[in-house]
Amino acid sequence: MQKNPNPCYYPDYLKLNMVLGSQEPLSGKYGEEAHDETLFIIVHQVYELWFKQILHEMGVVLNVFGQDYISESDLGSCLSKTYRVKSIQKVLIDQLNIIETMTPQAFLDFRDYLVPASGFQSVQFRELEIRLGLKTDNRVAYDNKSFHNRLSAEHQEYLINVEKQPALIDLLANWLERLPFVDFGGFKFWEQYQTAVWKMLDSDSEIIKNNPTLNHEEIKLQLKELDLTRASFESLFDDEKYNERFPNHVLSRKAMLSALFIKLYSWYPLLDIPARFLTSLMDIDELLANWRHNHALMVQRMIGTKIGTGGSAGHTYLKATTHSNRVFTDLFNISTFLVPTSALPKLPEEVIKNLQFQRM
């Protein structure tokens, strides 16, 4: 570790002259300065700083998952990175409370100067979505159309390049497919698992039929829904059915089986970190959805049914993205396939040995 020959000075180290010199309200330039524009600028700058940090963390995760083999140490390190990302996301949501101290009226005092700027032009946020794995096909249509032409040529090019690189969801799929949990040689794990699941679904069916609070029509409706769950399950063992049941799936059937196995037996030491990692990705997806939701309400409160500064449909559009722009929905679907611990097939000793630390 080489020494730093210069005494380090806090304001210089943080380049505060640049960071704190980057707030230039347009209202002050063209008229009376609107007090709240500074807040508007700073809150967005803070968002961008955190986006940079999230990308910094996800970069490590993407690197690790780009490798052919992922060691337990590396996976543990990735887990820590996702925990950090989550802690940042929580602050991103909390920050919305700060913006909400600005009244819609106060926003109007500088809103017109910002036209046609828009949050859609946050290159880092778009990059994050792409790197996580948001597919163009899954994006809400309106945004998709104008995704690129709102950006400068340089920024468009940058994002097009990002889109060419593998996304986390794809690398995760590859990793899950490589894991050896689909075939256990002589041990017919998945057959035994099927038996357990059929039992559980039959029980669910009884639950519905005997629910005294439901009328005939409702029972019919719900049994129909149960059939969908049954179909989901059947699809786990048939590629064609899988594609049909989950037309928007990103994880392949094989990857899903691995993820499912990890979740089913997560108490075995070898599966502890992988299970926590999958959960952490779901957390990230959920926090992103929470952020989108809260952000949409904040915009509704700010502009009502007006159009956004970028000419977007504003609140209505943002509301629509909350549930559609999800990345790890497949992981949430795993819960559909879980069975109670007591109903789980017992693993043979040999399999168990491989899931534990061995004392030499």
Instruction: Count the residues of the shown chain that bind a second copy, applying the rule CB under 8 A.
Output: 150
Binding a second copy by CB under 8 A: which of 67, 108, 185, 227? 108
Nearest to 230 by CA among 185, 264, 276, 199: 199
204 lies in the site for a second copy, by CB under 8 A: yes
Lookup: tokens for 141: 């249509």
179 lies in the site for a second copy, by CB under 8 A: no
Question: Strand, helix or coil at 236?
Answer: coil
234 lies in the site for a second copy, by CB under 8 A: no
Binding a second copy by CB under 8 A: which of 67, 94, 157, 239? 94
Q: Which is nearer to a second copy, 13 or 240 (CB)?
A: 13
Round to whole Å and give the CA distance between 128 and 53: 11
Q: How far is the CB of 358 from a second copy (least distance, A)?
A: 4
Binding a second copy by CB under 8 A: which of 185, 198, 220, 332? 332
241 lies in the site for a second copy, by CB under 8 A: no
DSSP 8-state class, residue 112: G
Binders in 28-47 for a second copy, by CB under 8 A = 29-32, 35, 38-39, 41-42, 44-46
70 lies in the site for a second copy, by CB under 8 A: no
336 lies in the site for a second copy, by CB under 8 A: yes
- CB half-sphere exposure, 40, CA atoms < 13 A: 24
Binding a second copy by CB under 8 A: which of 132, 197, 250, 264? 264
Q: Assess contact for 339 and 197: CB atoms under 8 A.
A: yes
286 lies in the site for a second copy, by CB under 8 A: yes
319 lies in the site for a second copy, by CB under 8 A: yes
Q: Which is nearer to a second copy, 17 or 136 (CB)?
A: 17
Nearest to 181 by CA among 258, 252, 236, 277: 258
Contacts of 140 (CB under 8 A, 6+ apart): 317, 320, 321, 324, 325
348 lies in the site for a second copy, by CB under 8 A: no
Compute and round to an integer the Cα radius of gyration of the chain: 25
Residue 115 Cα distances to 6, 118, 126, 316, 337, angstroms: 45, 8, 20, 19, 48
Q: Counting beta carbons within 10 angstroms of the beta carbon of residue 28, is it exposed (0 to 12), middle (13 to 18) or buried (19 or more)?
A: middle
Q: Assess contact for 58 and 168: CB atoms under 8 A.
A: yes
304 lies in the site for a second copy, by CB under 8 A: yes
Round to whole Å and give the CA distance between 129 and 328: 12
185 lies in the site for a second copy, by CB under 8 A: no
Selected range binding a second copy among 165-173, 188-196, 236-244, 334-342, rule: CB under 8 A: 334-342
358 lies in the site for a second copy, by CB under 8 A: yes
Selected range binding a second copy among 21-29, 129-137, 164-172, 234-242, rule: CB under 8 A: 21-29
Round to whole Å and give the CA distance between 128 and 68: 23
Q: Assess contact for 198 and 230: CB atoms under 8 A.
A: no
Q: Which is nearer to a second copy, 143 or 254 (CB)?
A: 143
Binding a second copy by CB under 8 A: which of 135, 139, 241, 301? 301
112 lies in the site for a second copy, by CB under 8 A: yes
> Which amino acid appears at position 232 of this protein?
S
230 lies in the site for a second copy, by CB under 8 A: no
263 lies in the site for a second copy, by CB under 8 A: yes
